[in-house]
Amino acid sequence: MMQKKRVAVLKLGCIGSLPFLDLILDERAEREEIEIACFGTGSKLDASLCEDMARKAQETKADLYLIATPNAKLPGPSTARKLLGESALPSITITDNPGRKAFLGKSGETHSDLSDNVGFIIVPMDPMIGARRDFLDATEMVIFNGHLLNTLASTGVIRATHALIDNALESLEHENLRLPRIVLSKESALEHAGFSNAYASAKAYAALEILESVAPLTTYACFREKERDKYLLMTAAAHEMVRAASKLADEAREIEKSNDTILRTPHRKEKGMRTKTKLLSKSE
């Protein structure tokens, strides 16, 4: 009988790759070889709260821990990572570009003190939201993340992420732990998107390029610019850029639809993944 692998998901704060992290591993609630438990801190990243959630996650005795957080170098996420690391528990941190400092040096080398039980997926195309009080309300927050999620999904970022996690789970099955240590590139994302049309790929590439350019703008607007009129224009512009990226990503997917070449990769009930491109064909 197949022994289930338990996955604990720690959602610390929020990044675009985070909201559906648990769901992309079992999109139809049919996978028999894994079970998933989730723990979250909402929008906050307090060190004490992050530590509390990490301790609760530890109690599940999971086989793999996923930590999704903005800037994994911050005190809160660092506390959670350290707690799991000291217990020698396999973990993969999914974080944005500022979070690379937690794992990589200035020249891109992996920190020498990282244990073999620590993996990471850095997503440079997952930008910070324009979190200025006079601009960001709950409605704007949801719209931003909606556009962002559409772009990340349509361009292959989400599929690349769940493929890396699935590979880690597979290595656990064979008792040969292999955790990803990767800065996700636009090229890798597009490879996972599986576009057959060059113009679709070009539009998706443009969308990802826009997303990568949003983060410097929102970071400057939120933390450096002091003049109110300037930072409000900057945050609004950044959100318009994310909307434009989403439109391009949607256009790319529509091209593939018109050719009946949308790649679909549903998880199997028993193990592994099926693939298909024709809408009316059966998954292989």
Instruction: Give the CA radius of gyration of the chain.
Output: 19
Question: Tens digits of per-residue pLDDT, 15-56?
Answer: 998 899 999 999 999 999 999 999 999 999 999 999 999 999
CA distance 26 to 252: 25
Give the distance between the most distant pair of CA atoms in the chain: 64
CA distance 152 to 246: 9
* 203 touches 249 (CB < 8 A): yes
* Among candidate residues 207, 196, 198, 282, the one with its CA nearest the CA of residue 246: 207
Give the pLDDT confidence score for residue 110 in this predicted structure.
94
Q: List, in order, residues 6 or more apart from 137 with CB less than 8 Å away.
A: none
Question: Tens digits of per-residue pLDDT, 51-100?
Answer: 999 999 999 999 999 999 999 999 999 999 999 988 888 999 999 999 99
Q: How many residues does the chain have?
A: 284
pTM of structure: 0.95
Would the pLDDT of 202 be above 70? yes
What secondary structure letter does DSSP report for 271?
Answer: S
Phi, psi at 21, each rounded to 5°: -60, -45
* Among candidate residues 147, 115, 154, 156, the one with its CA nearest the CA of residue 129: 147
Please give the share of the chain, as a percent, with pLDDT higher than 90: 89
Question: Tens digits of per-residue pLDDT, 244-282?
Answer: 999 999 999 999 999 999 999 999 988 889 999 999 999
Q: To the nearest 10°, the Cα dihedral for 204, 207, 211, 213?
A: 120
Average pLDDT over residues 197-223: 97
